[in-house]
Amino acid sequence: MQSDCPRVRVTVGAGLTLNVRPDPSTQNPPVGSLADGALVDVVGESLGESIDGEDLWYEIDNGVVQGFVLSTFVTCTTEEPPDIDPGGWYLPLPCGVSAEVTQGNNGALSHNGTSAFAFDFGLPLGSPLVAIAEGVVTHASGATGPGDPCYSGGGMECIDAANYVTLLHADGTKSVYLHLQSISVGVGDTVPVGAEVGLSGTTGWSTGRHAHVMRMQDCGGYYCQSVALAFDDVAGDGVPVSGDFVTSGNCP
């Protein structure tokens, strides 16, 4: 049914996120998530699963994720949507640090399909990786440690053993930082642009030390379909290719 509420603001609490469901219930896995304070358009209302006596669900669409949220966790508003540009996208390296792009978009080795728009950066072990834009940590794992057979890299058998951090950004997209030696943040943390998310490594399915970084759609998980990413601190079109050396202007 149509809604008299043009948009809603998420009110789950600072540092928390709200799951977006494919239907007005909690029976199926989320299709995405929204950060606290997010303002999104409402396209309809439905009566669905009752939770603590509330059964009104809003159907929302922010241009990246579409689905349903329970009215308990949002507030109806007539506020106009803000500029959802996170303020630019910057290299995942500390200010002034340089690195080689060892594999760019649509690479021959592994950057295709879901990972088509990923970037690999060749880095010494233990190099800091930083947020490419401000975001909220939705997923993080540092479970693979020294002594684990996948800590120093391995084949397909290690595909699920990489340490990672995933951030949700203001525009509804995410970024992921993969193959980390260790993580520096936890789920629910708000991470400013340029702040450390972890140290680079070679955990998981990896043939050598590098960081795999990409911008993604929000599918509700830690690793989703990649989307095009241009870095504000890379000359030209902002999209480095394999063999390029880049220097970070991620200087908050």
Chain segment 131-163, per-residue pLDDT in tens: 999 988 989 999 999 999 999 999 999 999 999
In 165-179, which positions are buried (b, 16+ CB within 10 angstroms) versus exposed (e)?
bbbbbbbbbbbbbbb
Q: What percent of the chain has pLDDT over 70?
A: 95
> Using one digit for the tens of pLDDT, what is the confidence trace for 94-114?
999 999 999 999 987 788 889
Give the domain extent around 61. Answer: 7-77
Question: The whole model's pTM is what?
Answer: 0.75
Do 126 and 198 lie in one domain? The reply is: yes
How does residue 86 score in pLDDT terms, banded at 50, 70 and 90?
Answer: low
Cα(34)–Cα(23) distance, integer angstroms: 16
Residue 18 exposed, middle or buried by CB count within 10 Å (0-12, 13-18, 19+): buried
- Residues 6+ positions from 35 with CB-CB distance below 8 Å: 10, 17, 135, 136, 168, 170
For residue 184, the one-letter residue type is S
Q: What is the pLDDT of residue 244?
A: 96
Among 210, 218, 22, residue whose Cα is nearest residue 102: 210
Do 134 and 57 lie in one domain? The reply is: no
> Using one digit for the tens of pLDDT, what is the confidence trace for 205-217?
998 899 999 999 8
Q: What's the CATH code of the domain at 59?
A: 2.30.30.40
Do 109 and 157 lie in one domain? The reply is: yes
> Using one digit for the tens of pLDDT, what is the confidence trace for 15-55?
678 889 999 999 998 888 887 877 888 999 999 999 999 99
Do 168 and 117 lie in one domain? The reply is: yes
Q: What is the pLDDT of residue 91?
A: 98
- What is the mean predicted confidence (pLDDT) over 78-95? 77
Q: What is the pLDDT of residue 85?
A: 54
Residue 89 maps to a domain: no
State how many domains the chain has.
2
Q: What percent of the chain has pLDDT over 90?
A: 67
Q: What is the pLDDT of residue 82?
A: 52
Do 124 and 12 lie in one domain? The reply is: no
Do 182 and 129 lie in one domain? The reply is: yes
Q: What's the CATH code of the domain at 148?
A: 2.70.70.10
> Using one digit for the tens of pLDDT, what is the confidence trace for 45-57?
999 999 999 999 9
Do 131 and 55 lie in one domain? The reply is: no
Do 71 and 128 lie in one domain? The reply is: no
Residue 70 maps to a domain: yes
How does residue 87 score in pLDDT terms, banded at 50, 70 and 90?
Answer: low
Average pLDDT, the chain: 90
List C-alpha distances in Å: 51 to 55, 117, 221, 242: 6, 39, 24, 50
Q: What is the pLDDT of residue 1?
A: 61
Q: What is the pLDDT of residue 78?
A: 87
- What is the mean predicted confidence (pLDDT) over 117-130? 96
Do 24 and 149 lie in one domain? The reply is: no
